[in-house]
A and B are shown apart, each in its own frame.
Chain A
Amino acid sequence: MNARTQYRTEAIVLRLLDYGESDLIVTFCTAEFGKLRGIAKGARRSRKRFANALEPFSRLQILFSRRRPESLALIESCDVLSHFPGIRANLEKTFTASYLIDLTDQFTPDDKNNEGLFQLLNDFLRLLEGGPATEGLLRFFEIRLLKLSGYDPVLDHCLVCKTPLGNEKAYHFNSGDGGLICTACRPDSPDALPVSLGTIRMLLMGREMEIDRLGRLFLSEQSAEESRRLLAHFIRHLLGRELKSVHVLNEIRRLGI
């Protein structure tokens, strides 16, 4: 029988699932182990061992053990590094953070070193903690996440004629092909979404710019709408469904909040 090996790592809580009478199955995003699932025994009954640590988007230092990489980890202890209280005290920020978490959960592979994705989530939670929940923040997170997870949409040239970006003022984005098509090559695909050159340039800047300077990028109303439709359509195409957090966000918007 294999012995249990103990590990210590930094982790962000993605998802919690009640298990049995008093246990929790927790999904974490980690740098070293990618997406990690573990069981926290007695976490629902006794608050002492995991004292308020196991909550969505909390950043923790966890100690866990497991026999094999594919087996469920046993969470032995957690120390809270940040609760992101600024996010938790604001409704809009909490919904934004929930979306970031949901998206990360979908795009993070299990048990595979993924420092980039962990850092991205941590950086954006930090930005959200210290600043407003803007449309730009969501879009730049999406475009960076897509790049890091290998689904980077082609936004710098036409997929058909390969002409670099800049010759035309407007393009079409085709989710099925994962990139831009210029007006001359535009097929009669109902999937193709119109998108202006300004919006594409904004997304490219948001994808490459240093994280701490992102707050200076401001999306115009047109760019916010176009980039939201483009990325939402592309992500829905990749996942084959709408995320639950998007459904809830739409419900909240219907309430006029």
Chain B
Amino acid sequence: MSGYALPIKRLIKELSRFPGIGERTAARLANHILRASEEDARRLAESILDVKRKIRFCSVCFNLAEGEICEICADTARNRSVICIVEEPDSLIALEGSGEYQGVYHVLHGALSPLDGIGPEQLRIRELLDRVAGNVVEEVIVATNPSVAGETTALLLVKLLKERGIKMTRIALGVPVGGDLKYTDRMTLAKCLEFRRGV
């Protein structure tokens, strides 16, 4: 980094702290910012500060929200009797992208992982139980990832919620659309047979 003026060095150092950004990429981004207009640079800086100042967790579903509650929880057209449980806000965004789901969500912010010391108290499980207790919920869809951690979380949620008389469903597992059976791994194939449905 020698040869750069101090403010540029500082910018490169800050940018290289981002995941997947090494010093060379950081230097390229810094040069781009340097060449951009002052207005563009201000917009970038303000949008970073805005995210830090305005974004918080929705008080209902713990999705990322601009205000007290997120857009999905504020939408009166959404079906509040169906809750879809996801591990992270990224999963929520992915499911929303499908355009197929009209219910509401609950974000756990992680999955059970005893080896990493992540138990129920580190997740938003107590808040989910309170939410379910105070509302008429007909169905809870468990959309945690199909990994050991996600499956363990799903098993725990089923144990906790089923005894309350709520219909519990798990997202289907199987071959992806456009996939090829001969290139699919054994476990996925076993699951796709287990989760087969009548036609």
For the complex, is B121 an interface residue (Cβ under 8 Å from A)? yes
Check B147 against A55 for contact (C-beta < 8 Å).
yes
Complex formed: what's the CA distance from A142 to B16 in Å?
45
Q: Which of B120, B121, B160, B187 contacts A52 (CB 8 A)?
A: B187
Check B185 against A257 for contact (C-beta < 8 Å).
no
Range of interface residues on chain A?
A: 35 or more
Check A21 against B148 for contact (C-beta < 8 Å).
no
Check A255 against B114 for contact (C-beta < 8 Å).
no
For the complex, is B131 an interface residue (Cβ under 8 Å from A)? no
Complex formed: what's the CA distance from A251 to B155 in Å?
15
For the complex, is A88 an interface residue (Cβ under 8 Å from B)? yes
Q: Which residue of B lies closest to A22 (CB)?
A: B20
Interface residues of B in 88-122 (CB under 8 A from A): 112-121
Of A95-103, A179-187, A227-235, the one touching chain B? A95-103
Q: Which residue of B lies closest to A56 (CB)?
A: B148
Q: Which of B119, B160, B186 contacts A247 (CB 8 A)?
A: B119
Residues of A within 8 A of B113 (CB): 248
Q: Which of B120, B155, B190 contacts A94 (CB 8 A)?
A: B155
Check B121 against A251 for contact (C-beta < 8 Å).
yes
**Size of the chain B interface, CB-CB below 8 angstroms:** 26
Check B185 against A51 for contact (C-beta < 8 Å).
yes
Check A91 against B155 for contact (C-beta < 8 Å).
yes
Complex formed: what's the CA distance from A240 to B137 in Å?
46
Residues of A within 8 A of B66 (CB): none
Check A255 against B160 for contact (C-beta < 8 Å).
yes
Residues of B within 8 A of A98 (CB): 114-115
> Which of B113, B115, B120, B186 has the most chain A CB within a 10 Å cutoff?
B115
Residues of A within 8 A of B42 (CB): none
Chain B residues close to A by CB (< 8 Å): 19-20, 112-121, 147-148, 151-152, 155-156, 159-160, 183, 185-188, 190
Chain A residues close to B by CB (< 8 Å): 14-15, 20-21, 47-48, 51-53, 55-57, 80, 83, 85, 88-91, 94-95, 98-99, 101-102, 105, 244-245, 247-249, 251-252, 255, 257
Contacts beyond the supplied A21-B20, A257-B156: 13 A-B pairs with Cβ under 8 Å: A20-B20, A47-B185, A53-B185, A56-B148, A80-B186, A88-B148, A88-B151, A95-B152, A101-B115, A244-B115, A247-B117, A248-B119, A251-B119
